[in-house]
Structure 1
Amino acid sequence: MTLSRVWTFLCLLAAASAATVLYPSLGGSETLTCECPDHQCQKVYWYRFLQDTGEFQFLMFGNSANAVKHAEGITATRFKLSANEGAKITYSLRITGLEKNDAGIYSCMFNSPKHDQKSQMPAGYYIRPGEHAPTSPPPTVKIPKKKKPQVCPPNNQPVKGCKPLVLWPSVGVLLVLAVVLISTLYYFSRLPKKCRHQYTKKMQL
């Protein structure tokens, strides 16, 4: 691989970071466009980096006059290049009969001395024949869980949130004790009177 091809290969990898991903069907076709920002791009080169073999390939060369030269081993009937000159020059590469081994990154490179190296190789395309575009998962709805009522553990210090459960039984016990105490005091307060009454009754007999 010559130095110019090494540089082209590195530029192709840089362009791949912003590549447009395409999912054509097997045997289908895709049209890749490469737009020059002005009329200075009179020549264009197309390259690809194959996904399965990791091979870097030169596809073809073309110019604004629609003169095209394919690389060795590239079928001209499958890879067709055309130029459309208007406000800008747009080069279109149409690929037909796509196969699984055509998967890879495709990009063009302009031959223009007035453009910097970044603008000479626009963002490319990542072709993945026979694959399906990933679908985003449906949004998940979280259902709030019902809080279980807190039950205070027996014979232990009440935990937080159990104060009402401990307070009311305590109040009831205190009330019962108070009633028993009052009844006992009342009974003993009347006890001497009962004793005197019985003693007087015996004396009269």
Structure 2
Amino acid sequence: MLQTPALNASPLLWTLLTPFLWSLGLGQTMEQNASVVYTQLLTTEFIECTCPKSIFCQTVFWFRTLPSHNKVQYLGRWNIANRTIYSNDVDATHFMFSRTKMDTFTLQIMNVTKEDIGTYSCLLMDTKEEQVWLAGVVLVPGEMHPTIPPESVSKLDCNCSSDPLAAGDCDRHAFWSLAGLFTFLMITLFCTLFYFSRIPKKGCHHIVK
């Protein structure tokens, strides 16, 4: 299991160690399993981090991966004693840490802007300093959730127009088509009967006296 710095480590130390942690592949793994959240600008967004039932979490560490994937920002940490420690370059009025349930930690982003885009993830630590990395949330501010276009339903082509005059022409065309087919069948039947009527019947002989 990956060992992290002590709980009382300074924000500067966490800031320096964050790129090293991501270089181990943790950032890529969380981004692949991350869910995408589309949010409106100048609203408040809540990102939750739920503690597994197998451990008792007492501290949460929050991180943000920027879209370029070349920079990871350590935001800060919060513990169950309601003690918050922010990184030196983080605005405490914009990012707020809290716990909404016994097993759920929350990152609150106030007045979301375009600059808040990124993958937000957390590291949970219990009393024995065992750590659990959880999949992140990709925040996309100012964009709408893409919608899947409905499947196109093919329609039968109809050359008949909705215009009454054009519809009358279409009806006459259909009538004469049926009439021609009926005439063809009648002629075929007549020729068949005439052919068989000309064939001499077997067993019939004329006696000439």
Q: What band does the TM-score fall into relative to the shorter chain?
A: 0.5 to 0.7
Q: Which runs of 5+ in 1 are unaligned?
A: 147-168, 173-205
The answer as to whether partners of 1:52 and 1:103 remain within 8 angstroms in 2 is no
> Where does structure 2 lack aligned partners over 5 or more consecutive residues?
1-14, 159-186, 191-209
Question: Residues 106 and 125 of structure 1 are in contact (CA less than 8 Å); yes or no, is this contact kept in structure 2?
Answer: yes
Report what 2:135 is aligned to.
Answer: 123
How far does residue 64 in structure 1 lie from its aligned partner after superposition?
A: 1.4
Contact 1:46 1:61 in 2 (8 A): yes
2:67 aligned partner, one-letter code: Q
Contact 1:44/1:61 (CA < 8 Å) preserved in 2?
Answer: yes
Contact 1:46 1:59 in 2 (8 A): yes
Residue 24 of structure 1 aligns with which residue?
A: 39
Shift of 1:2: 5.5
State the match for 1:164 in structure 2: none
**RMSD over equivalenced CA pairs, Å:** 3.7
Partner residue, 1:69:
85
Q: Secondary structure at the match of 1:127?
A: strand
Q: Is the CA contact 1:12–1:121 (under 8 Å) kept in the aligned structure 2?
A: no
**1:1-205 to 2 correspondence within 5 Å?**
5-8=19-22, 10-38=25-53, 39-51=55-67, 54-84=70-100, 86=102, 88=103, 90-112=104-126, 120-144=132-156
After superposition, the C-alpha distances for 1:108-163 in whole angstroms (9 at most, x for unaligned) are 0112487986xx112211101111110110211123569xxxxxxxxxxxxxxxxx
For 1:31 and 1:24, the matched residues in 2 are separated by 10
Partner of 1:151: none
User: 1:53 Cα deviation (Å)?
Assistant: 7.6
Distance 1:44 1:5, change over 3 A: farther
Moved more, 137-146 or 93-102: 137-146
Call closer, same or farther: CA 1:3–1:67 in 2, change over 3 Å. Answer: closer
Structure 1 residue 35 displacement after superposition: 0.7
- Kept in 2: contact 1:52–1:101 (CA 8 A): no
Give the secondary-structure state (helix, strand or coil) at the position aligned to 2:135.
Answer: coil
Query: In 2 relative to 1, CA 84–24 (structure 1 residues): closer, same or farther, beyond 3 Å?
Result: closer
TM-score between the two structures when normalised by the length of structure 2: 0.61
Q: Is the 8 A contact 1:43 1:63 kept in 2?
A: yes
Matched AA of 1:134: P
Contact 2:116 2:139 in 1 (8 A): yes
CA-CA distance at 1:98 after TM superposition: 1.3
Pair 53,112 (structure 1): closer, same or farther in 2 beyond 3 Å: same
Cα displacement (A) at 1:12: 2.5
Q: Percent identity?
A: 31
Partner of 1:101, secondary structure, is helix
